[in-house]
Structure 1
Amino acid sequence: MPRRLLIGTLLALMPMMVWAQDDVFARNIEITDWKAVFGRIEARDQIPARSRLGGTLVEVSAVEGMTVSAGQQIGRVVDEKLALQLTAVDASLQSLGSQLANAEAELARGENLLQRGVTTAQRLDALRTQVDVIRGQIGAAEAERNVLEQRKAEGDVLAPIGGTVLTVPVAAGSVVMPGETIATIGGGGFFLRLAVPERHALYLEEGDTIRIEAPDGARQGRLAKIYPQIQNGRVIADVEVPGLETDFVDARVLVRLPVATSSAVVVPVNAVTSRMGLDFVTVVGPDGTLRPRTVVVGAPHTVDGRALVEILSGLEGDEQLVTDSE
């Protein structure tokens, strides 16, 4: 088939083409290359609620997924020895109280006898000293009781921050040691934590826009922090995402990161037509004639709200095009 006849046939098969109101050209632009990685939804702060007292865990009110406030009691540890020690201190205080009452009575009699000249001042000083000693012993016993009461109060396990209970590794009836974790609380908000291959570290900048393909639809986030330490060949980064779904902590979410840029020739999507398994664009020649040209189409892109498609071969850029009438 002669070349002119082939071109005429292709033009006849194409839909009606019109000039755009604003001239349409193939453009050379910088395209952002996106790297697909998985991020994990994590709490900004994960703080364990620890037992401050060793003993038996008699009560655990926290369960996974429960929302707690800072200072809320989520468990209770009991040390039975504290109750025995408190009983002993109370008995000691009762005995010292009786001794103090007797010593004060002796002191009152001594002062009366001294006024009548029956006893000596030395004897009266000994009675005063005895009263002061007993009062000191009572003060020491009361301080010891306060310490025991404080230790008993430390059996209450409190939430260190407000947030969501992530894990509860122990059950009621367990014997725990001081400092043992009763529950882990996640709070301070949630974010996406990424582990990016270190070869892409130089292309990441704090504040970059990140694409997130969440289960409830695509959204954008902001690269909030890049950690300087590389772990196992990966750079750790945090992404802030408004309205991030936090029903499941540590859930994996597909994230696309801008890791590089490359030059590409792009045209509007409606400038490309397909016929007989081939893709064509219509180029306006210097004399105003319309000439179809076969192209190889690449990936679609959105630039400034316009739908564009990359042209891998067939155009060099700056060619004037005709777009579909629709």
Structure 2
Amino acid sequence: MRHINVLLAGLYLIGAAQPTASGAAEVRARAVIIPETKAVFGQVQSRTVVPARARIGGTVREIRISEGSEVKEGQVVAVIVDDKIALELAAAQAKIDALKSQLKNARIELERAQQLLQRGVTAQSRFDQAKTQFDVIVNQMAAAEADKSVIEQRAREGEVLAPATGRVLTVPVTEGTVLLPGEEIARIATGRYYLRLSLPERHAAEIVEGATVTIGQRGLSPTKSGSVETAREGRIAKVYPEIASGRVIADVEVSGIGDYFVNERTLVWIPVGKRKVIAVPTAAVRTRQGIDYIRIAIAQGEQDVPVILGETFSDSEEEPLVEVMTGLRDGDRVILP
């Protein structure tokens, strides 16, 4: 575990091995201060989760995604149909057709009035009236075509688009569902994944931004998560100042966390304090009939002492070390095999 290694790098944990009268190597156990870690479960979260919403009301005709699908920004994820839009389009087209007929007649009347005016057999007011009628119908035609364009745009908005690139988390609707404008079609995780920790309030003082934590592999079982010795490193990116229900919330950034499961839990070992331990090389431990022993030198010679072992760690310049919880004292002469 790297954060333990850093603290141990400058400490004389165990004296240099010295040969005993029998020729075996001998070291002295020394009490040192190491970080105390707490194993908690962190939940995988996405930086941002955005909804894909319906832009019009209607009935869901088609859903083109499912939970877990990857989507690109602007991709059509569902189609909503409002049957009234088809009727409105038909009415708009009928109005345009009627105005086209009126426009054709108005153009003929205007051309006739212009010819009569040139011959001098009609008044200027008659020509002006025909031209005004023609202009009115032209403007009505433009307004009707604009109204039809608005209806066509509403029909196109029945296609629900992905607001950003990401992975679909939930699709709370099915085909045939009736929706109102603005209702949610899908939730899409679009941001970078990170771990969120929820720790007891008593550890608030020991949690700081930038601190290093160790993270197990994916999965809840110890066989899948691994041990603290084989865990990956992460960094506390943010500690939230508000304590809710006696819990401190912190975010941890870690590489290789994946991009599929959200709310997946994994083991995280986080430093919450320091403690004094007595440690010896793992080679000093002998196990007989399920009981661990360490041989020490005493005035009368050598003696095997039963011990209870704790955490195992290592220094980059030393062999693996094991914490001795009971059975040894600071300064005991440990005989290596």
Q: TM-score normalized by structure 2?
A: 0.79
AA of the residue aligned to 2:163: P
1:83-232 matches, within 5 Å, as: 83-214=86-217, 215=219, 216=224, 217=226, 218-232=231-245
Where has structure 1 moved over 6 Å in runs of 4 or more?
none
Unaligned runs of 5+ in 1: 1-13
Instruction: Tell me whether 271-280 or 194-203 shows the greater mean CA deviation.
Output: 271-280
Instruction: Tell me whether 48-57 or 298-307 shows the greater mean CA deviation.
Output: 298-307
Question: How many angstroms apart in 2 are the aligned matches of 1:300 and 1:92?
Answer: 84
Contact 1:295/1:311 (CA < 8 Å) preserved in 2? Answer: no
Cα 1:170–1:282 shift into 2, 3 Å: same
Match of 2:24 in 1: 17
Contact 1:47/1:186 (CA < 8 Å) preserved in 2? Answer: yes
Question: How many angstroms apart in 1 are the aligned matches of 2:156 and 2:275?
Answer: 64
Structure 1 counterpart SS, 2:47: strand
Match of 2:5 in 1: none
Write the deviation string for residues 20-46 of structure 1: whole angstroms up to 9, x where unpaired: xxxx55344321111111122233322
Structure 1 counterpart SS, 2:115: helix
Contact 2:33/2:275 (CA < 8 Å) preserved in 1? Answer: yes
Structure 1 counterpart SS, 2:59: strand
Match of 1:315 in 2: 329
Q: TM-score normalized by structure 1?
A: 0.81
Match of 1:300 in 2: 311
Structure 1 counterpart SS, 2:55: coil
Question: How many angstroms apart in 2 are the aligned matches of 1:268 and 1:290?
Answer: 21
Match of 1:269 in 2: 282
Match of 2:8 in 1: none
Contact 2:297/2:335 (CA < 8 Å) preserved in 1? Answer: no
Unaligned runs of 5+ in 2: 1-20
Match of 2:247 in 1: 234
Question: How many angstroms apart in 2 are the aligned matches of 1:89 and 1:196?
Answer: 62
Structure 2 counterpart SS, 1:82: helix
Contact 1:42/1:249 (CA < 8 Å) preserved in 2? Answer: yes
Contact 1:191/1:241 (CA < 8 Å) preserved in 2? Answer: yes
Question: How many angstroms apart in 1 are the aligned matches of 2:52 and 2:251?
Answer: 25
Cα 1:290–1:151 shift into 2, 3 Å: farther
Contact 1:96/1:137 (CA < 8 Å) preserved in 2? Answer: yes
1:324 aligns with 2:303: no
Question: How many angstroms apart in 1 are the aligned matches of 2:136 and 2:184?
Answer: 44
Structure 2 counterpart SS, 1:229: coil
Shift of 1:81: 0.6
Please, what is the CA RMSD of the aligned residues? 2.9
AA of the residue aligned to 1:195: S
Shift of 1:153: 1.0
Cα 1:126–1:25 shift into 2, 3 Å: farther
Question: How many angstroms apart in 2 are the aligned matches of 1:270 and 1:290?
Answer: 20
Write the deviation string for residues 231-282 of structure 1: whole angstroms up to 9, x where unpaired: 3221222222322245543222122111112233333333455689674454
Cα 1:123–1:29 shift into 2, 3 Å: farther
Structure 2 counterpart SS, 1:199: helix
